[in-house]
Amino acid sequence: MPPSPDKNQPIYVAGHRGMVGSAIVRCLQRHGYRNIVTADRASLDLLDPHAVRRFFTERQLAYVFLAAAKVGGIHANNSYPAQFIYENLMIEANVIEAARSAGVERLLFLGSSCIYPRDCAQPIVEEYLLTGPLEKTNQPYAIAKIAGINLCESYNRQYGTRYVCAMPTNLYGPRDNYDLETSHVLPALVRKAHEAKLRSDPHVAVWGSGSPRREFLYVDDLADACVFLMESGVAEGMFNIGVGEDVTIRELAEMIMRIVGYRGELVFDASKPDGTPRKLLSVERMQKLGWKHTTSLETGIRRAYESFLSEAAKA
């Protein structure tokens, strides 16, 4: 296996201002890496292949974390399917090809657990990819991420690169998106509970029946897994990143209401889509390598809420 990068070698984190990218930067800093390369959207448009190629040719990067993506919850995926598939396809194709062209041999591509079939057996092992139909509500995003996985596999086979794919479960934590139009379920519930508490609302509406089961991973645990894969010298393959446990949306909502301190009633709107009935990842492959998450769901939500309050105070 190739050695992990020297602490002084340049490591590029694409999407460093997002929830995942910023967590990877924090983790690299904790591990003592001193040459972390970043570029905001104003200085580098990842949708522009020429700009991306120039960026890579001007630097001799040792490793790339591809965490940049257009992301959102069920409502956003349903409302903007063309943007989700186009922007994600362009970002991953531009970055992976520019890395290959510039001689960057090692890269980690961040995908999503939504790549797996809607009704596959649980827990989901990596081999279930492409064995059945996808969930319709996020199919364009999932197809884009599947294309990114295939890009990495194809480049490894044709060009001898060492590009690895990490498939995280549902994420939450600092720098999450709390916009109710585009956010995922956990941050949306945190914001709804907080605002309902401030207004003394009698109830909080929750999309769906509350019965679907979901797994949630604190984003700093994901970042730790990504850096672990880099330092372990893993050179290829796809790895589920999760906790190996799930809860119902009702259980999640009740936990969030308790942590936030909201005392009203939860009202579930069954006319809204539930999405996939269950999505629990098998984490055996990562555990065999020696990695396991360390943050419990309750601890993580408390940290996420503290971060939400801090950001709200700044705003």
* In the chain, where the domains are located: 11-172+216-243+279-295
- Whether residue 12 has pLDDT greater than 80: yes
Structure tokens given for 114: 């939504």
Predicted confidence (pLDDT) at residue 65 exceeds the cutoff of 90: yes
Q: What is the DSSP letter of 5?
A: P
Instruction: Tell whether the model's pLDDT for residue 56 goes beyond 70.
Output: yes
Alpha carbon 37 to its chain centroid, in Å, reads 20
The tokens for 76 are 């956003």
Residues 256-315 pLDDT 10s: 999 999 999 999 999 988 877 889 999 999 999 999 999 999 999 999 999 999 988 887
pTM for the complete prediction?
A: 0.95
Q: Which residue has the higher pLDDT, 3 or 87?
A: 87
Give the C-alpha distances (Å, rounded to integers) separating 4 from 9, 97, 235, 287. 10, 22, 11, 19
% of the chain exceeding 90 in pLDDT: 87
According to the annotation, is 264 in a ligand binding site?
Answer: no
Q: Which one of the listed residues 12, 141, 163, 262 is annotated catalytic?
A: 141
Residue identified by tokens 């730790």 is: 224
Q: What is the CA radius of gyration of the chain?
A: 19
Please give the torsion angle defined by the CA atoms of residues 84, 108, 287 and 214, in that order, rounded to the nearest 10 degrees: -10
Main-chain phi, psi angles of 6, to 5 degrees:
-60, 150
Q: ω into residue 123 within 30 of 0, thus cis? A: yes
Q: Is the pLDDT of residue 3 over 70?
A: no
Is 190 known as a binding-site position? Answer: no
Q: Please indicate if the annotation marks 8 as binding a ligand.
A: no
CATH class given for the domain over 11-172+216-243+279-295: alpha beta
Task: For 236-249, write each residue's pLDDT tens digit.
Answer: 999 999 999 999 99
The per-residue pLDDT for 71 is 86
Asked whether residue 110 is marked as a ligand-binding residue, the answer is: yes
User: Can you tell me the mean pLDDT for 18-28?
Assistant: 98
* Residue 145 annotated as lining a ligand binding site: yes
- Residues 6 or more apart whose Cβ sits within 8 Å of residue 264: 196, 200, 201, 202, 203, 204, 257
Q: Is residue 141 among the annotated active site residues?
A: yes
Can you name the residues that pair with 163 across neighbouring β-strands?
Answer: 107
